[in-house]
Amino acid sequence: MELAGALQLGELASAFAALPVFPLFDTAYFIVSVLYLKYEPGAMEMSRKSPFASWLCAMLHCFGSYILADLLLGESPIDYFSNNSSVILATAVWYLIFFCPMNLFYKCVSFLPIKLIFVAMKEVVRVRKIAAGVHHAHHRYHHGWFIMMATGWAKGSGVALLSNFEQLLRGIWKPETNEILRMSFPTKASLYGTVLFTLQQTRWLPISEANLIFFFTMFMIVCKVFMTATHSHASPFAPVENFICPVFFGSVSSGHTSHHHDQHGASHEVSHPPPPLAKSKEELNEGTRKRKAKKAE
């Protein structure tokens, strides 16, 4: 029975890994990506003032991971745009979300139960892209572990890593929002996932690629759907990171606290300046003599 169950699970994983992502899953991926663009401040105003800039931002949201991965591997960054079907599909999604009459399409796809389905389907595409990126890099650099991880990470979260460039297209510059400084859950999960796929590709992880795709996809779907449904930004990796990071990288320096305290104290002093010193009797007499001299003149 256990062997039969294992065989059935292996067949399920193989069938899942062979499932085509175009056009159904890609459509869901484009819908969620353009929805996130519409949530950005000023995105609606930009779509009215400069539709071309809005379209470029939407294409960056949809294909930014491919662009970044191609740049890392020394290939043409616009190579993926030769896929006319995907570009036309993404353009249609962008137009419907931003310009559909009465905003009907946006209201339908942003309805939470429907949106959760699209979010789950997007994670299927994300994991496939991570696996494909690692496999592609392994084909060119058989022993380049870091190249495999960088390419897989770019394929999984390239849009977030290019967020500052996308902000420039919208006329915004916020370097403090750099994704590497403050990683979101998809970026961290893509990084951890690309490590697993690199270990699997180099035969250090004793699991088939199909099984790894299946299990990691299920993990991503459960986490992302739960976070979207509850509007939570808490990372499921936080408990492990809070335990491991202080051991290997030390705790937060106390200098940051003192610096914050110094800043708070300085601002407190600025907001409440000390009262001016009272003038001495000599200064008052000197002022009286000057006024009398001016009257005499």
61 vs 74: CA distance, rounded Å: 21
Closest CA to 202 of 152, 240, 264: 152
Domain boundaries in the chain?
12-233
Q: How many alpha carbons fall within 13 Å on the CB side of residue 186?
A: 26
pTM of structure: 0.81
Contact (CB, 8 A) for 53 and 40: no
pLDDT 10s digits, 265-277 = 333 333 444 444 4
Give mean pLDDT, residues 285-295.
Answer: 51
Please tell me the predicted confidence (pLDDT) of residue 218: 96
Among 32-36, 49-53, 212-216, 263-267, which is the least confidently predicted range?
Answer: 263-267
Q: What is the mean pLDDT of the chain?
A: 84
Please tell me the predicted confidence (pLDDT) of residue 289: 53
Percent of the chain residues topping a pLDDT of 90: 61
243 vs 237: CA distance, rounded Å: 10
Please tell me the predicted confidence (pLDDT) of residue 151: 96
Instruction: Count the Cβ atoms, other than its own, within 10 Å of residue 91.
Output: 16
pLDDT 10s digits, 59-80 = 999 999 999 999 999 999 998 8
Please tell me the predicted confidence (pLDDT) of residue 56: 95
Please tell me the predicted confidence (pLDDT) of residue 9: 81
Give mean pLDDT, residues 175-201.
Answer: 92
230 vs 14: CA distance, rounded Å: 32
Helix axes 112-140, 185-201, angle to 10 degrees: 40
Backbone angles phi, psi at 279, to 5 degrees: -75, 145
Please tell me the predicted confidence (pLDDT) of residue 127: 97
Would you place residue 245 in the very low, low, confident or very high pLDDT band (cuts 50, 70, 90)?
confident
Please tell me the predicted confidence (pLDDT) of residue 290: 52
Please tell me the predicted confidence (pLDDT) of residue 121: 97
- Is the pLDDT at 205 greater than 90? The verdict is yes
Closest CA to 89 of 26, 38, 148: 26
Percent of the chain residues topping a pLDDT of 70: 82
Tokens (6 digits) for 134? 């690692």
- Is the pLDDT at 262 greater than 60? The verdict is no
Residue of 113 and 276 predicted with greater confidence: 113
